[in-house]
Amino acid sequence: MNQAQQLRDGIQALGLDIDEAKQAKLLDYAALLQKWNKTYNLTALRDPAQTVSHHLLDSLTLLPYIEHAQTMLDVGSGGGQPGIPTAICRPDLDITLLDANTKKTAFLQQAVIELGLKNVRIISGRVEAAADCRADVITSRAFAELADFVNWTEHLLKDGGYWAAMKGVYPQEEIDKLPESVAVEKVEALHVPQLNAERHIVIIRKKAV
């Protein structure tokens, strides 16, 4: 199965409506990831099929959880997941990708230019020092434990906003360590087509004062 068919089948299995132009751009991003990975070590995955399942489809599982967001911050974006696939599918959503690794942000800058993503900006630096990228939803994939994720980014969450943390196995121990100032709204299992591994999304909000 080629990547285009693999992506098309995966999107159908997820029940998402993503047109052919956006699917083509997702594959362009996958090609950039594979090309730059040889030099910048963006991901441990070398198999093109795994790029579709582990990076594209895995990222797209976020979409139903950010339907009403207008601004999004992707913390520890690395090679651009879930931020870049989200930006491709949601051109109306203003997205900031933040990472402290300058090689990775160099790749992100290049990817944004080559893919023509007008709705994305890149910040290179530590999240604790960021100040001008407040967002409705703050997301991360395998960035840090939940308590650290919340504590390091709380100053960047807009009023009424929420965190959407993409995790592997059900993170009960991490949930137990969350600060008293926040509450877990829900934890849902994510079923990623072609990916034989546990995935969960954790939605967290600040408690009303």
81 carries a ligand binding annotation:
yes
Contact predicate 127/153, CB 8 Å: yes
Please name the helix (run of DSSP H) or strand (run of DSSP E) that holds residue 206, with its range, or none: strand 200-206
- Which three-class secondary structure state does DSSP give residue 68? coil
23 carries a ligand binding annotation:
no
67 carries a ligand binding annotation:
no
50 carries a ligand binding annotation:
no
127 carries a ligand binding annotation:
yes
The residues pairing with 117 across neighbouring beta strands, listed in sequence order, are none
Tokens of 82: 């879930």
- For 38, other C-beta atoms within 10 Å of its C-beta total 9
- Comparing CA positions, the residue from 137, 112, 136, 141 lying closest to residue 124 is 112
> Can you say which residues are annotated as belonging to the binding site?
76, 81, 127-128, 141
> Can you say which residues are annotated as belonging to the binding site for S-adenosyl-L-methionine?
76, 81, 127-128, 141
